[in-house]
Amino acid sequence: MDKMTEIAFQIILHAGNGKSSAMEAIQEAKTGDFAEADRLIEEAGTELGEAHGHQTKLLQEEASGEGQGVNVILVHSQDHLMTSMTVRDLAIEIIEIYRNK
């Protein structure tokens, strides 16, 4: 497996973990456990930060002329990361709605 594909899989892994934590946070807020919801949102942020770090590594390589081109797995990883970040952002808003209910 080439380096870019390995990085793409790391992005997919961490983005998926972040999205899962954000979705779990919503469920915890729904039951009124806001401490756990907040912890899970923080966990989501950490996972998404990891994914973003891998993405940044690819961007830096591309900017320095060391880019390897684009493959479908990389495109998928970018889509997965952006979707997961949106889910986390919306989860934060949904948790606040439950908190202020």
Please check if 2 is assigned to a binding site.
Answer: no
Q: Would you identify the CATH topology of the domain 15-100? A: Methane Monooxygenase Hydroxylase; Chain G, domain 1 (1.20.58)
pTM score of the predicted model: 0.91
Catalytic residue among 52, 54, 76, 80: 76
Confidence of residue 90 (pLDDT cuts 50, 70, 90): very high
pLDDT digits (tens, 9 = 90+) for 22-39: 999 999 999 999 999 999
Question: Hey, what are 70's tokens?
Answer: 């684009």
Check the CA dihedral 48-9-86-95 and report its sign. Answer: negative
**Is 76 a catalytic site residue?**
yes
How confident is residue 65, by pLDDT bands cut at 50, 70 and 90?
confident
Q: Tokens representing 85? A: 């970040």
List the domain boundaries for the chain.
Answer: 15-100
Model confidence at 46, pLDDT cuts 50, 70, 90, reads: very high
